[in-house]
Every structure is written in structure tokens, then in C-alpha cells.
Copies of this chain bind each other. A is one copy, B any other.
């Protein structure tokens, strides 16, 4: 996979909201010389301080941010993604990118409203100041390739706008399935007093960081089991529809079991 780093012109980049994802990306893009816009109106003292620290320009409201920016980025929460995209995407004359964890269906809904200026982005893994992988799909995806740098590895997936959400969905099926499997297997191992030995055993074939990674997955899954259960329910619904439309049906045996496992963790 090539994450080519193109040096290009400096852009005006607007953020709707300024949470963890937005502020991390803004900080990286600011250091590359881009102009960062957002709005601190009605935001917490902490957010205002963060905006100042990063050196972002705070405008009166997000309407202004959307109008002035060449690229508008929405990184908020899945539940707010659609209304934000419809409102601020319409005000944007250029590119509007949604980075929220939304379903392929929601992506298409936004795309129907905004047309070719809409790009879907999917952040792969955790966001941090050192290295981020963002997958982008949409007709005009190439236009944001100039935002690429050593800390922001942007992969243009395809012109089909929903592909970034589909990739994220498929990734989710695998990673959540592994988490459910780890929880079940290590629960049995613990009852048999062979938890440590099993970690050691699996580390031999699964890689040196297996234990650290697995414990992080287990803890994360238990902590956010409600949210993960909801995400899995959406995924199952989407794939059931996909199956209905396709001749070749895929048994969703493991996905259904993962959903059931997350339900049982939650209870």
C-alpha cells in the first residue's frame, strides 16, 4: 500500500466540532502549514484552550466555518453525523468529509443529499499524534490527497462513496469477532487456571504482542460493550439487506454469534 506524500498548496480546513479526533488532525495539519478553522462559541473552557494552543482560528459559528473552508471535516459522533452533514455540507462550496463511524446506508443518504462534494473517510485504528491511517472514498477523493503527510496516511479507496464505510464495517466484523472469541476462550482458561499458559502458547504463533493486544481488546470490549453491540446490530441489519439483494447469500454465523456474545457481556 502506498501512502505517497505529496507537497502541495496550503489549504483552509474547517472542523465542525473540536473533540479528540478533530483536534488531533487539526494539530497535525496546522504543523504542515494549513489554515485551521473552527468555532469556540458555546464550547467548554477546555475546548477553547485547545483551539488556542493548536493555533486554530475560531469563527462566530460553524456556518462561517463551512462557508470559508476549502475542506470541511466532520468528526463528531455517529448519531450526529447525518444532521451535521446535511446542514454544514450544504453550506460548503467545496469538499465535505465525514469521518464518523456510520453505516454504508447512512453514507449513501448523505451522498444523495450532497452529491460529489461529499467524501467518506474511515479512520483505521486509533487516532494519535504520530501516525494515522485514513481511508477515503468518493468521486473527488483525489482532491484531498495533498493533505497527506508522514503522520496522516491517506489511502484513496475508490470513487464509490460508500466503500470507506464498507471497509470499516468489514474490519469491525473481524475485530469484534476476535474480541468476543478472546473473551470466551480466556474465560474458560481462567476457570481451568491456565490463563497465563494460554497467553504464552498463543504468543508463540500469533506474535509477540499477542497478550498486550488481547488484554486491550478484552478490556475495551467489556468497557464499551453497549456501543459495540449497537454497532454490530447495525452491521447485521446492513448485511441482511445486502444478502436479500444478492443471489449469493453469506451465512452470517460468526457475526450473529458475536452480536449474541456482546449482548451477554452487556447484561
Interface residues of A (CB under 8 A from B): 1, 124-125, 133, 135, 155, 157, 163, 166-167, 170-171, 173-175, 177-178, 180-182, 184-185, 187-189, 191-192, 194, 197-198, 200-205, 207, 239, 242, 246, 248, 250-258, 260-261, 264
Contacts and interface: CB of A to CB of B under 8 A. Distances in A.
A135 B204 CA distance: 12
A174 B195 CA distance: 13
A198 B201 CA distance: 28
Given A124-B201, A257-B257, A181 B181 contact: yes
The binding surface of chain A is classed by DSSP as helix
A20 B191 CA distance: 35
Given A192-B166, A248-B191, A254 B254 contact: yes
A163 B201 CA distance: 12
A57 B231 CA distance: 62
Contact of A170 (B133, B157, B194, B250): B194
Contact of A253 (B184, B207, B239, B248): B184
Nearest to A248: B191
6 contacts: A170-B188, A170-B192, A170-B198, A173-B184, A175-B205, A188-B242
